[in-house]
Chain A
Amino acid sequence: MVKKIYFQSIFFSFLFIKEAFAAESGGMPQLNPEFWVSQIFWLILTFGIMYLVLSKLILPKISNNLESRKSQILENIEAAEKQREDSDVKLKEYDEIISKSRLEANNIFNQAREKALKDISAKREVLDKQIDNEISEAEKEIDALRKNAPDKINKIAIETSSELLQKLIGAEVNNSSISAIVDDLSKRNGDKYYGN
């Protein structure tokens, strides 16, 4: 109820204001020529002033602003493009340097490898030769030993047998006859003992 009174009072106060402004005549106020001249005059005046201000002062400024922004953006884009190209070139250089150094590294590695291999083979040859020499010397020694071995054995056999005979029989035996027997035995059994 209070609300209704409140709202209605607002509405009616609006109405009252409106009423004060309203003209008495009915119909379309637009067709009443009383203020036509005044409206035409003020229209031309206000519109004319606005047109002059806009066309002479404001619109050129806005167009300038737009143009300068456009050109600045274009410049920035160009600069960015240039920098991109620069960076591309630098990237290419970098790639070249990388591939070049990789090649170099490969070369160096290969050279070092070859050199090492050469060293190894040279050393191996020297060592091989030394080893061969030593082997052949050792073989010679063995050969010499082998050649001397039967004589020495014969001698030992003769001496041993003569001493054995002396102790067993108590008589001196002629060494030469013993040696003849040993020679004969060694000739017969030489193959068995020496593997000749």
Chain B
Amino acid sequence: MAANPMSQFDVYRIGPEIKVGAFDISFTNASLFMILSTVSIMFIFNLGSKKNSILPNKIQLLAELSYTFVSKMINDTAGSKAKPYFAFIFSLFMFVLFCNMFGMIPYTFTVTSHIIVTFVLAAFIFIGVTVIGFIKHGFGYLKLFVPSGVPAVLLPLIVVIEIISYLSRPISLSVRLFANMMAGHTMMKVFGGFVISLGIVGGWLPLSFSVALTGLEILVAFLQAYVFAILTCIYLNDALNLHH
């Protein structure tokens, strides 16, 4: 009787079908929530940077705390050389965080619960990091696959493993975020369905689970955004500093 727990991830067209050549780029609910997230990010941070008062108001404090949080995260993991990429990592963190958090509101769509979205982000990061690595170190960047202090006998095996682990980075990065968001939302939906099917008598137990899960999912939403950003920083660190 409960709705399919996966139906919350359905993408549907809003408005007319837009086609460019063979590609369908119609405006969908996913597009709506991407726009909502980015617009709210721009709105909040614009408000938070408008006035420059010595004693910041709440919104300014929020913006500045986020700024220092991300800047400290980058500095700790990737060092001072990563400064030019601050804006990108900040945007990335905020985008993932806001998409995750918007997904926590009932009846919304979670942009990051779609593998294609997270994979595009991860693939962009992967390609970008690789390009930066080759620009900074030339072919010396390939030393990344040859860890120092490894016996020569083991070297071929280690190099193969390193290459596989490097190539699987975009997959692990994207699947981690996507799977976390999808699993959490599915679980919440399933427990919500239990509440309905058990009714007013037995529904309280799954309802309390649902409440607890909501808290957990909010934590996960923040944590996954943080993990996504910090892994990006670590990959960037490999490309910039190259000490394996």
Contact = CB atoms under 8 A, between A and B. Distances in A.
A68 B4 CA distance: 54
Contact of A38 (B31, B54, B64, B199): B31
Interface stretch (B8-16, B134-142, B145-153, B213-221): B8-16
A12 B200 CA distance: 13
Interface stretch (A23-31, A90-98, A152-160, A179-187): A23-31
Interface residues of B, number: 59
B34 interface: yes
Interface residues of A, number: 52
B115 to A, nearest CB: 5
B223 interface: no
Nearest to B195: A11
B212 interface: no
Contact of A30 (B35, B49, B63, B182): B182
A51 B88 contact: yes
B161 interface: no
B10 A23 contact: yes
Contacts of A49: 38
B56 to A, nearest CB: 8
B45 interface: yes
A72 B9 CA distance: 50
Interface in B5-37: 6-13, 23-28, 30-31, 34-35, 37
Contacts of B75: none
Contact of A42 (B8, B30, B86): B30
Contacts, number: 160
Contacts of B117: 39-40, 43
B113 interface: yes
A42 B28 contact: yes
A68 B95 CA distance: 27
B12 A21 contact: yes
Interface string A58-70: 1101111110110
Most chain B Cβ neighbours within 10 Å, of A53, A59, A73: A59
B6 A11 contact: no
A17 B68 CA distance: 42
A72 B30 CA distance: 44
A147 interface: no
Interface string B37-75: 110011001101110101000001001100110000000
Nearest to B11: A35
A30 B200 contact: no
Given A7-B200, A8-B200, A46-B34, A22 B90 contact: no
A3 interface: yes
Given A17-B107, A26-B6, A11 B95 contact: no
Contacts of B111: 43
Contacts of B24: 34-35, 37-38
A38 B196 contact: no
A59 B63 CA distance: 9
Interface string B72-108: 0000000000000011101100110000000000010
Nearest to B52: A65
B227 interface: no
Given A22-B10, A38-B31, A42-B25, A11 B107 contact: no
A109 interface: no
Contacts of A30: 9, 113-116, 178, 182
18 contacts: A4-B200, A8-B200, A15-B2, A18-B7, A22-B7, A27-B6, A29-B9, A34-B11, A35-B24, A39-B114, A42-B30, A47-B95, A47-B121, A61-B50, A62-B63, A64-B52, A66-B67, A69-B52
Interface of B: 2-4, 6-13, 23-28, 30-31, 34-35, 37-38, 41-42, 45-46, 48-50, 52, 54, 60, 63-64, 67-68, 86-88, 90-91, 94-95, 107, 111, 113-117, 120-121, 178, 182, 195-196, 199-200
